[in-house]
Amino acid sequence: MIGAFLSIAANKEDLGYALGMVTFLCAAFGGSYLKVRGVETIRIIKPIIIFLPFLIILLIFGSAIPNKLFFDEYDIFYYTWVYFNWLYFT
């Protein structure tokens, strides 16, 4: 976990990339924590399986998005992931 934080700190100038890394790490470590706490596996994996293919496509083709909003593909990835999780868990 310390190495993950160091990696994020090293990329703090590129905010979108750092937020994308935080999102990925929260999904990885958060799922592990929830499993240890006794949450059912399907409840942990379901939001990841549902939304991850869309987000991967967004990262692959994100450079084709016009940069008129001053967001890069990592910013869009992060905000979309947060929005989808908010929709799923509320």
Residue 84: how many other CB atoms lie within 10 Å: 16
Q: Is the pTM of this model over 0.85?
A: no
Average pLDDT over residues 60-87: 72
Helices marked H in 1-90: 2-10, 15-36, 41-60, 73-89
Tokens of 35: 């499993």
pLDDT (tens digit per residue) in 31-66: 888 888 888 888 888 877 887 787 777 777 766 666
pLDDT at position 34, please? 84
